[in-house]
Structure 1
Amino acid sequence: METLSTISGWIWDPMAYFALGIGVFFTLLTKGVQFRRLPDMIKQLKAGKSGDGGLSSLQTLALTLASRVGVGSIAGVATAVAAGGPGAILWMAITALVGSTCAYAEAVLAQVYKRRIQGEDRGGMPYYIKYGLKAPTLAAVVAVVTLIGYGFVFPGIQANNIGSSAQLAFGLEPWMTGLAITAVLAVVILGGTRRIVNVAQAVVPFMSLGYVLTAVVVISLNLEQVPEAARLIVSSAMGTDPLFGGLVGYAVAWGVRRAVFASALGLGEGTFASAAARASHPGKQGIIQAFSIYIDILLICMASGLMIVITGAYHVKDPAGGFLVNNVPGTVAGPNFMQEAIDTGLPGWGSVFVAVAVLLFAFTSQVFFFYVASTNLVFLLGERRSRFLEGVLKAGALGISFVGTVISADTMWAAGDIGYGLIGWLNMGCVLLLTPVVRKVIRDYDRQRREGLDPAFDPEQLGISGAEFWARSPEKTREAEPTA
């Protein structure tokens, strides 16, 4: 465990600042597209349509949120507060505001370099590395690492949190919970892409709305504590709080780290759903993915953070050993913080509600993780099919779903941090190298919007090579039409 934590620190400590820096860079490059195109974000959710192997914008948002709104939105916020103090919450919000442009850039690249394979629109990290950077070997390495991570490692984190919250709420042994979720997961993933999308589209809005409504109730019951909680969060983040001021470095590092983990910002996770969207211009899917960061971090994660702080249901570790604050003795940082927080306002409701929320959040993440893993397998195989490898992937996804519930939480989080960190470094480096493509796309989108047109993408006109899908798609030949 000590070795895993050390390795995780080597990877994440510098990457936290790197991710924040990339967000600032793309914010300047796109002239704050995440702010000035906010009306477009809402409009595009209604505009896209599914069909012919592609998904609608709303479906891809639901599929992406199935991953982004996961246990990181509950357990991740709790672990950030435990390690970095209340100030970590503000740094999560700052990361979302500037880092959403990284999600924009990823989605744009995923759309530009997607392919039609086996009758479906597929794309993501390995595709823009291969066809954009012209680095097929690196693309294959990224695909293999991502396949292993999302197929055989990361789902274990989701399963582990489902098991621990169910044990606290219902007294169920983790292995019993593991068997149940593995059986349901099997039904979903054996149904193919369409069933995966249908599950995400049905569950994500329901679980997000229920969680936010519960947060509103808890915060309302503790309304007098909100000003002091806000002061504590800001002063801790800025290093001026008498108790937590010395943790400002930890607040930044853990706030950014958990924001990246909760939203998969910069990790390329959302690129696989982004590529499946049917849109007339990559810029449209880019702003939708930026919007998904807002929903996850500025809505779900901030709701979690506020509930924890205003109810005092947290502890903060002292880097020198022990605790600076220990309001919940014996409680493990994670879903248990949230259960304690809700119980303060709604006694007896916290354990059950959080267990159900974690179940829904984590399960939809597991479903999406399988979609990511299978997309990387499709990339490696191309138009070929391998029933054997597809079977191995399904068996691995189901196996880690069960095993993850009985492995220690610290081990699963440490292993997950290492895997996510490695993928993050690879992806963000490649996205930076493809900055000229992102610049061309955003400028083209802005030009057409200024002219009152519904943007249509023509890669040849912009001097972008390798965009095979667009060269032969209906969108390529469609004339830009005036916006309604």
Structure 2
Amino acid sequence: MTDFLNDLNSLIWSNPLIYLCLGSGVYFSIRSRFMQIRQIPEMIRVMIHGESSPDGVSSFQALMISLAGRVGTGNIAGVATAIAFGGPGALFWMWAMAFLGASTSFVECTLGQIYKTRDRLTGEYRGGPAYYFSQAFAHTKAAPFFKIYGLLFAAVTVLACGLLMPSVQSNSMAVAMSQAWGIADWAVAIGIVIILAFVIIGGVKRIATFASIVVPFMAVFYILFALVVVFTNASQIPDVLRLIFASAFGADAVFGSIIGAAIMWGVKRGIYSNEAGQGTGPHAAAAAEVSHPAKQGFVQAFAVYIDTLFVCSATGFLIISTGAYRVFEGESADGAVLGDGGLLPDVVDVGPTYVQVGFDSMWSGAGSTFVAISLAFFCLTTIIAYYYMAETNLRFLLGKAATVYIHPLRSTVGSNLTMLLQALILFSVAYGAVSTAKDAWTLGDIGVGLMAWLNILGILVLQQPAFKALRDYERQKKQGKDPIFDPIALGIVGATFWETYEHKDRFREEKPISSAEGAGPDV
């Protein structure tokens, strides 16, 4: 089974997927006239000034749900893995993936808002790739194909977010806590299951509240402490930058021979971390209450920057500047050692221990504890976000079956399957905590890769509505308005929620935008 999973992972994460991720990011960047640069001020403004309602969360809360899914073990163990198997140059390709991926994230998340719907069971907003694939083409001859395509994506997402990906998060938590405090894996498993069960049963509102409190706290503190260590080693920063860029382009004498691995692991771990193009971001984006879909597209594009340019960079600089890294040949810890920073002990597993040793170089003994606590927050919120995404896609698969309980002893098929999904994700985190890191990461990579293949190919076909929304938003901003979305006027079909949006009137009081806030040029 292990050999089969490794072969499947290698097939999914072959060069075509790498080219697809990078190529689509370049294309969307050009098509949007590099909105990921032009619209940074607007990203920040919209993130701060958001709406909310009984049915939808605010833009900030949706950002926190999204960051809960993005900021996780990929930002700590994932960066360490990328450096171990791709060399320091992998960090550059993570940056490149973030820059290009911000435009991809805008497209997919704007589509998530355009084609969102109201959940039959809870009344909350739901959306994501499965929804926009099926709705956008509902009035065309291609409707049957894209209906099946949406169902396929939904099934893959339930499998990936409900079973394959959570195990990576719990495994990293268990490894870090064992390193720091010697806690047994089974004890970590029990603790995660108890906390997770309490949160996920509360629905999207409880998930949003939990994420909006925990995510900013954990991210800011982690970045600050990492930067303290980096600037303590400030004299190493020029050498670190030289090593990263030289390794990224094959110019380094030691790591130049693995430039292909640097690109592969930089893109792979970049997507795993920031999730741009994977199709997870649109689920959180769809939950937001906004007057125009492009608003949440901007917010989610900025989330990619927060995840990779801030959190992952802090981890990468920490590992490299302190010398807490070891690079292997052949993309495996069983390969020959190509380079060693000199700080790691002779025997150490690739993963969060790299970061713990880096922190310990400044705070002896305290570094392991700090990383274990950080990972506990990072990974727990990520698992919760995974459940939200899995549940959203289960709702899509169920359709009309996703209705309320009929009787406590005779529940519907929808409610039974929801409880089964909750049990499945609890099993996944328990299994991940007691399994090996290699097996857990293989399962996670398979889940991420399958979703990325389906979503990126799909949005390359279904891109036009997102760019219509961008042009419309920037046109209204230039007129001094707070943009309001009207899909009928833009010729966008299938956006049924916005066509019958009952709360639209409360956005109709057009508030002039101050000149200080600016208005981006038309596309």
**What TM-score do the two structures reach when normalised by structure 1?**
0.97
Superposed CA offset, 1:1-26 (max 9, x none): 34423321221132122101111110
**Secondary structure of the residue that 2:361 maps to in structure 1?**
helix
Superposed CA offset, 1:271-321 (max 9, x none): 111001111111111110000000000000000000000011011111293
The answer to whether the Cα contact below 8 Å between 1:143 and 1:380 also exists between their aligned partners in 2 is yes
What aligned pairs does 1:396-411 form with structure 2 within 5 A after superposition? Answer: 396-411=424-439
* Corresponding letter in the other structure for 1:199: F
CA displacement at 1:474 relative to structure 2: 4.5
CA displacement at 1:89 relative to structure 2: 0.4
The answer to whether the Cα contact below 8 Å between 1:457 and 1:475 also exists between their aligned partners in 2 is no
Is residue 2:452 matched to residue 1:424? yes
CA displacement at 1:56 relative to structure 2: 0.3
**Secondary structure of the residue that 1:358 maps to in structure 2?**
helix
**Secondary structure of the residue that 1:241 maps to in structure 2?**
coil
What aligned pairs does 1:445-456 form with structure 2 within 5 A after superposition? Answer: 445-456=473-484
Deviates more, 1:399-408 or 1:463-472: 399-408
In structure 1, which of residues 161, 184, 191 is the aligned counterpart of residue 195 of structure 2?
184
Taking the aligned partners of 1:28 and 1:186, their CA distance within structure 2 comes to 44
The answer to whether the Cα contact below 8 Å between 1:280 and 1:475 also exists between their aligned partners in 2 is no
Taking the aligned partners of 1:60 and 1:16, their CA distance within structure 2 comes to 28
Q: Report the counterpart of residue 218 of structure 2 in structure 1.
A: 207
Is residue 2:278 matched to residue 1:261? no
* Structure 1, gaps ≥5 residues long: none
Q: Report the counterpart of residue 409 of structure 2 in structure 1.
A: none
Taking the aligned partners of 2:38 and 2:177, their CA distance within structure 1 comes to 43
In structure 2, which of residues 13, 23, 26 is the aligned counterpart of residue 24 of structure 1?
26
CA displacement at 1:349 relative to structure 2: 1.4
Q: Report the counterpart of residue 406 of structure 2 in structure 1.
A: none
Identical residues among aligned pairs (%):
41
Deviates more, 1:443-452 or 1:123-132: 443-452
Deviates more, 1:250-259 or 1:43-52: 43-52
Deviates more, 1:445-454 or 1:1-10: 1-10
* Corresponding letter in the other structure for 1:12: W
Superposed CA offset, 1:132-152 (max 9, x none): 133211111111111121112
**Secondary structure of the residue that 2:13 maps to in structure 1?**
helix
Taking the aligned partners of 2:313 and 2:156, their CA distance within structure 1 comes to 31
Is residue 2:338 matched to residue 1:324? yes
**Secondary structure of the residue that 2:14 maps to in structure 1?**
helix
Taking the aligned partners of 2:422 and 2:259, their CA distance within structure 1 comes to 43
The answer to whether the Cα contact below 8 Å between 2:159 and 2:447 also exists between their aligned partners in 1 is no
Taking the aligned partners of 1:481 and 1:354, their CA distance within structure 2 comes to 45
Is residue 2:175 matched to residue 1:164? yes
Q: Report the counterpart of residue 519 of structure 2 in structure 1.
A: none
What aligned pairs does 1:334-483 form with structure 2 within 5 A after superposition? Answer: 334-383=351-400, 384-385=402-403, 386-474=414-502, 479=508, 480-483=510-513
What aligned pairs does 1:99-118 form with structure 2 within 5 A after superposition? Answer: 99-118=101-120
Taking the aligned partners of 2:502 and 2:5, their CA distance within structure 1 comes to 49
* Corresponding letter in the other structure for 2:230: I
Taking the aligned partners of 1:353 and 1:159, their CA distance within structure 2 comes to 17
Taking the aligned partners of 1:247 and 1:263, their CA distance within structure 2 comes to 23
* Corresponding letter in the other structure for 1:196: I
Q: Report the counterpart of residue 70 of structure 2 in structure 1.
A: 68
Taking the aligned partners of 2:183 and 2:31, their CA distance within structure 1 comes to 51
Taking the aligned partners of 1:54 and 1:370, their CA distance within structure 2 comes to 18
Q: Report the counterpart of residue 8 of structure 1 in structure 2.
A: 9
The answer to whether the Cα contact below 8 Å between 1:77 and 1:305 also exists between their aligned partners in 2 is yes
Taking the aligned partners of 2:237 and 2:494, their CA distance within structure 1 comes to 52
CA displacement at 1:387 relative to structure 2: 2.1
* Corresponding letter in the other structure for 2:298: I
Taking the aligned partners of 1:50 and 1:437, their CA distance within structure 2 comes to 24
Counterparts in 2 of 1:475 and 1:97: CA distance versus 1, 3 Å? farther
Q: Report the counterpart of residue 284 of structure 1 in structure 2.
A: 295
Deviates more, 1:202-211 or 1:215-224: 215-224
Taking the aligned partners of 1:400 and 1:414, their CA distance within structure 2 comes to 14
Q: Report the counterpart of residue 120 of structure 1 in structure 2.
A: 124
The answer to whether the Cα contact below 8 Å between 2:12 and 2:446 also exists between their aligned partners in 1 is yes
Taking the aligned partners of 2:425 and 2:7, their CA distance within structure 1 comes to 27
Taking the aligned partners of 1:299 and 1:197, their CA distance within structure 2 comes to 22
CA displacement at 1:400 relative to structure 2: 1.2
In structure 2, which of residues 319, 323, 348 is the aligned counterpart of residue 312 of structure 1?
323
Taking the aligned partners of 2:248 and 2:382, their CA distance within structure 1 comes to 30
Superposed CA offset, 1:415-450 (max 9, x none): 111121111100001110012212211111121122
**Secondary structure of the residue that 2:434 maps to in structure 1?**
coil
* Structure 2, gaps ≥5 residues long: 138-142, 404-413, 515-523
The answer to whether the Cα contact below 8 Å between 1:117 and 1:382 also exists between their aligned partners in 2 is no
Taking the aligned partners of 1:192 and 1:415, their CA distance within structure 2 comes to 26
What aligned pairs does 1:287-302 form with structure 2 within 5 A after superposition? Answer: 287-302=298-313
Structure 1 runs, 4 residues or longer, greater than 3 Å off? 474-481
Taking the aligned partners of 1:115 and 1:48, their CA distance within structure 2 comes to 19
**What TM-score do the two structures reach when normalised by structure 2?**
0.90
Taking the aligned partners of 1:435 and 1:391, their CA distance within structure 2 comes to 35
Taking the aligned partners of 2:511 and 2:456, their CA distance within structure 1 comes to 34
The answer to whether the Cα contact below 8 Å between 1:44 and 1:57 also exists between their aligned partners in 2 is yes
Taking the aligned partners of 2:46 and 2:502, their CA distance within structure 1 comes to 19
What aligned pairs does 1:198-237 form with structure 2 within 5 A after superposition? Answer: 198-237=209-248
